[in-house]
Amino acid sequence: MPPPPSTAPRRALPTPKARALRLRILLLTLLAHLCAADAPAQDVPPPPSPEEVVRVSTDLVTVPVYVTDGGGRRVAGLGREDFEVSEDGRRVEAAYFAAGAERVALLFLLDASGSTREIITRQRETALALFNRFGPGSRVAVMQFRERPELTLPFTADASRAPAAFLIEALPDRRTAIFDAALAAVRAFAAGPSHPAERRIVVLISDGLDTASAARASTVVGEAERAGVSFYVIHLPLYAPREGRLVARRPAKDFRALAEKTGGQFFVVGDARTSLDAHAAHDLGPVFRAIAEDLAGQYVLGYHASETSQGPGPRRLEVRLTAPNRRKLRLRQLRHGYRPEARP
């Protein structure tokens, strides 16, 4: 027998308009779930970017030093615990320590007078090899000078831009202002962003004859010391006949002091024989290697200036050795003070 007819009410089929509404609701619900899955959890902070990881506070005060033994040789292998840093006689915690030249800001200061122009042009690749010996994050700049300094390459991490800045145009003889240019070089480090822990170096290549400077060497040394800038001076002397022989012309007074009083070194390249040969080869490679080795034997200590020390007036810095054999060692401090920047 056929089953009895159902007494339940028959469900009406959805209209096309109803089906479209249900589909729209389904898509909106699915989209909401996908957005919720992609959103980061509120209680888990995002990982720091690389820039945040290497960021150093701008109130970091750094003091470069080097240590020698009884024979004047550089002492390597010291650690943060072997030094004690004080500001105005009050001991501070060394929050930064680096052995060697991890990060360097290197400015080449080039005498553009006719006597040194050819030598500098020929040696530019050798000079730039010095920059390549330093760690990532280092910067290079080039400044030329005659009567006035000219920054031909502002600080950059791209060393490929530097060779063109070493090309010096041949011009008639003009006066030379070495100390004015040296002062401009020191002040160039303050222009634009910089890393507070970088080691600041000026490599000055010149014949040493200053005929036009208004600035004094003592002014340059003072500003360099406060800014933590060291000069490495490469002297290419000129020779003149005297009593039947060639004698090197005396450089400007305190030319050598630019290196000796800022913690750098002074080098003399060339002699009377090479001065007579316009095509003599001056190999500056050993000089630049000596500079790199000198920087590798240095230490940089840093601390964060406290809120109470950010008033007007200079601050006095002092670094002491705490190593057990400190009586046999000698410490040379390359920065003895600084002046806090005014807070806005």
Tokens of 329: 């060692």
**pTM for the complete prediction?**
0.76
pLDDT in tens, 79-104: 999 999 999 999 999 999 999 877 99
Query: What are the distances in angstroms from CA 289 to CA 98, 134, 296?
Result: 20, 12, 10
Phi and psi dihedrals of 325, rounded to 5? Answer: -100, 30
Write down how long the chain is. 344
Q: Which domains does the chain have, with CATH numbers?
A: 58-98+298-338 (no CATH), 104-296 (3.40.50.410)
pLDDT of residue 243: 75
The DSSP code for 73 is -
Q: Which of 203, 198, 199 is nearest to 127 (CA)?
A: 203
pLDDT digits (tens, 9 = 90+) for 9-48: 444 445 555 555 555 555 455 445 444 444 444 444 444 3
Asked if 104 contacts 69 with a C-beta cutoff of 8 angstroms, the reply is no
Give counts: helices (H), strands (E), the chain.
Answer: 9, 16
